[in-house]
Homo-oligomer: A and B are copies of this chain.
Amino acid sequence: MRTHLCNDLRREHIGAEIRVSGWVHRRRDHGGVIFVDLRDRSGLLQVVFHPPEEYGAGEAPAFDFDRAHQLRNEWVIAVRGVLRERPEGTVNPELPTGEVELEVLELEVLNQADTPPFQLDEADEVGEDIRLRHRYIDLRRPEMAANLRLRHRVVQTMRRYLDDRDFLEVETPVLTRSTPEGARDYLVPSRTHPGSFFALPQSPQLFKQLLMTAGMERYYQVAKCFRDEDLRADRQPEFTQLDLEMSFLDEEAIMQMMEGMVRAVFDAVGADSLPDPFPRMTYAEATRRFGSDRPDMRNPLELTELTEVMAEVEFKVFREPATSGGRVAALRLPGGGELSRKEIDDYTEFVGRYGAKGLAYIKVNDKAKGSEGLQSPILKFLPEDVVATILERTGAEDGDMVFFGADTRKVVNEALGALREQLARDRGLLAPGWRPLWITDFPMFEWDEDAKRYEPLHHPFTAPYPEHLDKLESDPGAALSRAYDLVLNGAEVGGGSIRIHDPETQRRVFNALGIGEEEAQEKFGFLLDAFRYGAPPHGGLAFGLDRLVALLAGADSIRDVIAFPKTQRASCLLTRAPSEVDPEQLKELGLRVSRTTQGGGS
């Protein structure tokens, strides 16, 4: 149905007879001549239907000009014609094929089209719901097609990189048993075992560790993962990970190999190059300097530690956190003195969402004047030497603003960490380019105040540093793990660790988490069994593919790099899934519905 793709055609094809097929992207009628921008997967080509009266006697091509007249946007056609140079003054320098056009000799309408629910170039103006409901039209937009092409290129580059390094792609089960990631599993009732359920995997974690035990040594998979969680932020109930695991390699070798892969991906898609090697930072330094374990390094703002400075002050709001295991920190915003009262109020409300009870600040008008040159509601509570220390440590200059956080470590880090990001966005402080960063030396556990017990910061198979083994019992909160996360421009794009591979260490970690022998055996018995039969040292990681591609695409949401995403309410507007099912099906599964809501919808 075609000899060429639209975008293949250039000046050198002038005079050739060509067949192309595709969609009517735009149609114009200029003085009786019909111009169509024909679109196929490669791009656009101008196609011209001259009316019969423009030809000499017996010279007019045989196609039905009335039919050409009927053509509308999104009709599917095949045309045969001769490629011509565009007349002077009609060249379109914005289009790769802008110097040529196809003079049509033959027209075949392959399919008609109703007027689409939205025009391709007006997608930004319709709601996302309309785009998702008619995704087959939305994906025709060159931006969306380019996103899927980019995703393809990213995945194929990863695969080739890994193939070249002797990795095997192995498929692990989708119908499996509950995994221990913590979020809720999607369950799948079994007809052959009524009353029993499979779970969809939250990750292939256990299976990839089993593959290492099976001697596979180097495994990867582009794996669908599932979490039935409340869809805060930009998440999807099903998402895709590049999942990897390696044996006989330490974290140094793994991080180097993975850096190489990410660099190869960026090169392959024509993105700006990444540094070699990627910088690294410990979890402790990241939270201290940025209040976050995924700091955006394009952001020049940093936190200043003031906890020990505030231990002696009278001002209770600062002293109490400083003396009870909490944190007091400052965030200097250069030029922030110009913030209005309203803006400061808005930021106060903003940090409140992270649990901060207020947002103390000092506006620096004129340092030379001492206290006189500062403006702040808390100035009167702070001794002069403390104020001097604040100014010195933050490096505040005239015209700056210094914000304060004083609360538990968690609240201060989350509130000032988020404020740091918000300020950079609001004031355009982000440097251009890509800033990858490895975060290392995570704590093994974090204390869950509600449950009154430790929870794993990653998952319970993460190995502690050998020299921290004793802390598993003596001081679990201080034990550091051999985990590493890859952060890119403030987004966590990958995370992994060296795993525990001996049953004894695994038992001690379960013990620190309050998981008894019986519970461990019930939940992970098959993995613990496997470890008894010669598990090699191993480690790995998983990359969030949707997020990585969204970053590369410059997309606002991962939904823009997924062909058929679900809404924030976990439904598919296109197919109206989930939906009600035949009661007979449920009977076969040994199930009864005890509570319903309206199915489908967003």
Residues of A within 8 A of B (CB): 1-2, 21-23, 39-41, 74-76, 78, 110-114, 116, 134-140, 145, 148-149, 152, 155-156, 159, 163, 166, 168-178, 184-200, 206-207, 210-211, 213-218, 224, 226, 228, 237-238, 240, 248-250, 501-502, 526, 529-537, 562-564, 566, 569-572, 574-581, 585, 587-600
* Known A172-B563, A188-B188, A248-B1; contact A533-B580, beta-carbon cutoff 8 A: no
Chain B residues in 8 Å Cβ range of A194: 593, 595-597
Q: Do B537 and A110 touch across chains, with their CB atoms under 8 A apart?
A: yes
Within the complex, the shortest CB–CB distance from A76 to chain B, in Å, comes to 5
Name A197's contact: one of B190, B197, B580 (CB within 8 Å): B580
* Known A214-B139, A600-B193; contact A534-B23, beta-carbon cutoff 8 A: yes
Q: Do A186 and B192 touch across chains, with their CB atoms under 8 A apart?
A: no
CA distance A532 to B76 in the complex (A): 11
Chain B residues in 8 Å Cβ range of A175: 186, 226, 237-238, 566, 572, 577-578
CA distance A215 to B140 in the complex (A): 6
Within the complex, the shortest CB–CB distance from A499 to chain B, in Å, comes to 12
Query: Please, which residue of chain B has its CB at the minimum distance from the CB of A580?
Result: B196
Chain B residues in 8 Å Cβ range of A532: 113-114
Q: Do B139 and A216 touch across chains, with their CB atoms under 8 A apart?
A: yes
Which secondary structure dominates chain A's binding surface?
loop
Within the complex, the shortest CB–CB distance from A364 to chain B, in Å, comes to 49
Within the complex, the shortest CB–CB distance from A114 to chain B, in Å, comes to 5
User: How many identical chains are in the complex?
Assistant: 2
Q: List 17 A-B contacts (CB under 8 A).
A: A21-B536, A136-B213, A140-B215, A155-B169, A156-B163, A174-B174, A193-B570, A193-B600, A194-B597, A195-B580, A195-B593, A195-B595, A196-B597, A210-B574, A590-B593, A591-B594, A592-B592
Query: Please, which residue of chain B has its CB at the minimum distance from the CB of A220?
Result: B152
Chain B residues in 8 Å Cβ range of A199: 577, 581
CA distance A23 to B155 in the complex (A): 33
Residue among A218, A250, A532, A533 with most chain B CB within 10 A: A533
Q: Do A214 and B248 touch across chains, with their CB atoms under 8 A apart?
A: no
Within the complex, the shortest CB–CB distance from A552 to chain B, in Å, comes to 16
Chain B residues in 8 Å Cβ range of A110: 501, 536-537
Chain B residues in 8 Å Cβ range of A213: 136
Chain B residues in 8 Å Cβ range of A537: 1, 76, 110-111
Within the complex, the shortest CB–CB distance from A72 to chain B, in Å, comes to 9
Q: Do B135 and A190 touch across chains, with their CB atoms under 8 A apart?
A: no
CA distance A196 to B169 in the complex (A): 34
CA distance A217 to B186 in the complex (A): 33
Q: Do A577 and B169 touch across chains, with their CB atoms under 8 A apart?
A: no
Residue among A135, A574, A588 with most chain B CB within 10 A: A574
Q: Do A200 and B215 touch across chains, with their CB atoms under 8 A apart?
A: no
Q: Do B173 and A238 touch across chains, with their CB atoms under 8 A apart?
A: yes
Q: Do B599 and A594 touch across chains, with their CB atoms under 8 A apart?
A: no
CA distance A395 to B493 in the complex (A): 70
Q: Do A41 and B216 touch across chains, with their CB atoms under 8 A apart?
A: yes
Chain B residues in 8 Å Cβ range of A172: 563-564
CA distance A185 to B586 in the complex (A): 11
Name A570's contact: one of B74, B192, B562 (CB within 8 Å): B192
Name A196's contact: one of B111, B156, B530, B579 (CB within 8 Å): B579
CA distance A190 to B577 in the complex (A): 10
CA distance A215 to B598 in the complex (A): 33
* Known A76-B535, A534-B111, A534-B112; contact A195-B599, beta-carbon cutoff 8 A: yes
Within the complex, the shortest CB–CB distance from A226 to chain B, in Å, comes to 7
Chain B residues in 8 Å Cβ range of A248: 1-2, 21, 40, 78
Chain B residues in 8 Å Cβ range of A226: 174-175
Residue among A78, A156, A175 with most chain B CB within 10 A: A175
Chain B residues in 8 Å Cβ range of A600: 193, 196
Q: Do B238 and A597 touch across chains, with their CB atoms under 8 A apart?
A: no
Q: Do B197 and A581 touch across chains, with their CB atoms under 8 A apart?
A: yes
CA distance A501 to B109 in the complex (A): 13
Q: A111-B536, A134-B530, A193-B571 are known contacts; what are 14 more A-B pairs with Cβ within 8 Å?
A: A76-B537, A110-B537, A114-B532, A116-B534, A139-B216, A174-B174, A175-B226, A186-B198, A189-B189, A193-B597, A193-B599, A196-B578, A587-B594, A590-B597
CA distance A228 to B237 in the complex (A): 22
CA distance A562 to B580 in the complex (A): 33
Q: Do B596 and A533 touch across chains, with their CB atoms under 8 A apart?
A: no
* Known A188-B188, A189-B187, A578-B197; contact A590-B596, beta-carbon cutoff 8 A: yes
Name A214's contact: one of B140, B206, B533 (CB within 8 Å): B140
Q: Do A152 and B169 touch across chains, with their CB atoms under 8 A apart?
A: yes
CA distance A136 to B135 in the complex (A): 42
* Known A173-B564, A187-B585; contact A215-B41, beta-carbon cutoff 8 A: yes
Within the complex, the shortest CB–CB distance from A414 to chain B, in Å, comes to 27
Within the complex, the shortest CB–CB distance from A121 to chain B, in Å, comes to 15
CA distance A600 to B192 in the complex (A): 10
CA distance A531 to B197 in the complex (A): 37
